[in-house]
């Protein structure tokens, strides 16, 4: 029986021993029971009448915990172990559980942050893009292209933005172009002085440019005698004549029967010959026209920018307009403004 008791080793320093209910030892693995003085007992608080006693005590300066069970032969089987070992195991278990919980929590937080970032980053880009669109800027980058709801939303937003940009661009073109003659209109012409003035004030050197202003004579007569459809043909013929001569300069319709051209670069260098060519072209058209609305009777005025005399681009345009009216007056005085029918030739 002693061998069986001696085989009980709870924890690292635990052991079992046999006693009676009064504390008299029958077997102890660390004591020689036969060497004990007669009548001496092993002092342990194990004398409770409770058959399921759980005892904490101090022996040899070590706090211990013990349990005992009665045996059928009247003995008691006592099992004891240091408290530090019995509690250390569950404390270690708690520590391991706590550490595991912390690791799981951190891993879950990182995973959640990554997943959340995958959602919030495209949403942040969409929000920023929407703000830029609200400010009129359509040149933004949306990099997210995932095969999910956010990806489809991003692609739809890009498509919508591109369509709006194209639509606005088309509207801008329509806003600055004349529907009848398909040249630039007065709104576009009003930007010309601003751009030229910027060059005058801030350019490295003074710009070279001239302004030509044209007025279609006798448009009212064409409209009254032949109808506005023929009047439109008359205006388009006049516009085509100006565009054909000044091929490299922007032409503008700035009024019902008025046109303007900003002459720069090659056309500026050859302006004198182009003006002469324009007069020759007008004469040739009028000589070969079969109907009054096919003729082109145009008064014109040209003004050249002189840095020493002109401080603004507007002054050049005003001077060209004044010269055009002087040309119209002179032509009227000399009878050079006259529509003729084929029977008159």
**Assigned token pair, 270:** 């050859």
- Cβ proximity of 162 and 130 under 8 Å: no
pLDDT at 301: 97
Residues 252-302: tens digit of each pLDDT: 999 999 999 999 999 999 999 999 999 999 999 999 999 999 999 999 999
pLDDT at 340: 55
Residue that has been written with the tokens 């058209």 in this structure = 285
pLDDT at 224: 94
Question: Which DSSP symbol is given to 342?
Answer: G
pTM: 0.55
Closest Cα to residue 82, out of 19, 10, 7?
10
pLDDT at 42: 59
| Axis crossing angle, helix 83-134 with helix 149-175, rounded to the nearest 10 | 20
Given 3-state DSSP classes, what are the helix, strand and coil percentages for the chain, each rounded to the nearest 5?
50, 15, 30
CA distance 27 to 31: 8
pLDDT at 241: 97
Closest Cα to residue 5, out of 85, 78, 83?
78
**Assigned token pair, 319:** 């001077």
Determine how β-strand 76-82 pairs with β-strand 62-70. antiparallel
Per-residue pLDDT of the chain (345 residues; tens, 9 = 90+): 778 888 888 888 889 888 887 777 888 888 887 777 766 655 555 455 555 567 888 888 888 888 888 888 888 888 888 888 877 666 667 778 888 888 888 888 887 777 666 777 777 787 888 888 778 787 777 777 777 777 888 888 888 888 888 877 777 766 788 989 999 999 889 888 888 999 999 888 889 999 999 999 989 999 999 999 999 999 999 999 999 999 999 999 999 999 999 999 999 999 999 999 999 999 999 999 999 999 999 999 999 999 989 989 999 999 999 999 999 999 888 877 766 554 454
Domains of the chain listed by start with CATH number: 2-88 (3.30.450.20), 92-172 (no CATH), 184-344 (3.30.70.270)
Residue 293 vs residues 94, 98, 217, 251, 310: alpha-carbon distances, Å: 104, 98, 11, 21, 39
pLDDT at 225: 93
Determine how β-strand 25-27 pairs with β-strand 251-253. unpaired
Within a 10 A sphere around the Cβ of 138, how many other Cβ atoms?
16
Residue that has been written with the tokens 């020689």 in this structure = 32
CA distance 247 to 265: 11
Closest Cα to residue 344, out of 285, 282, 289, 280?
289
- 53 in helix, strand or coil? coil
């Amino acid at each position: 029986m002693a061998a069986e008791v001696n085989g009980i080793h709870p924890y690292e320093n635990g052991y079992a021993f046999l006693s009676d209910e009064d504390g008299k030892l029958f077997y102890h693995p660390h004591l020689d029971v036969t060497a004990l003085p007669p009548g001496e007992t092993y002092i342990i608080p194990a004398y409770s009448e409770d058959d399921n006693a759980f005892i904490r005590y101090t022996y040899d300066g070590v706090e211990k915990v013990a349990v005992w069970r009665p045996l059928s032969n009247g003995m008691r089987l006592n099992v004891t172990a240091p408290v530090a070992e019995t509690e250390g195991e569950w404390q270690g278990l708690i520590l391991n559980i706590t550490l595991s919980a912390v690791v799981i929590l951190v891993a879950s937080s990182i995973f959640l942050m990554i997943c959340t970032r995958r959602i919030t980053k495209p949403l942040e880009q969409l929000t920023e893009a929407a703000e830029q669109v609200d400010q009129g800027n359509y040149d933004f980058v949306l990099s997210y292209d995932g095969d999910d709801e956010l990806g489809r939303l991003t692609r739809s937003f890009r498509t919508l933005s591109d369509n709006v940009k194209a639509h606005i661009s088309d509207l801008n073109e329509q806003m600055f172009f004349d529907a009848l003659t398909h040249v630039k209109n007065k709104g576009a012409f009003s930007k010309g002085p601003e751009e030229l003035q910027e060059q005058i004030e801030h350019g490295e050197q003074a710009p070279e440019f001239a302004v030509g202003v044209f007025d279609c004579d006798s448009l009212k007569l064409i409209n009254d005698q032949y109808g506005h459809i023929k009047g439109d043909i008359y205006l388009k013929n006049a516009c085509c004549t100006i565009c054909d001569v000044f091929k490299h300069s922007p032409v503008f319709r700035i009024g019902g029967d008025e046109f303007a051209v900003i002459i720069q670069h090659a056309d500026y260098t050859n302006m004198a010959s182009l003006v002469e060519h324009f007069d020759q072209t007008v004469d040739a058209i009028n000589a070969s026209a079969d109907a009054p609305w096919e003729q082109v009777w145009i008064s014109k005025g040209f003004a050249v920018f002189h840095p020493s005399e002109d401080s603004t681009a507007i002054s050049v345009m005003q001077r060209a307009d004044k010269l055009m009216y002087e040309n119209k007056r002179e032509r009227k005085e000399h009878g050079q403004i006259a529509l003729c029918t084929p029977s008159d030739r």
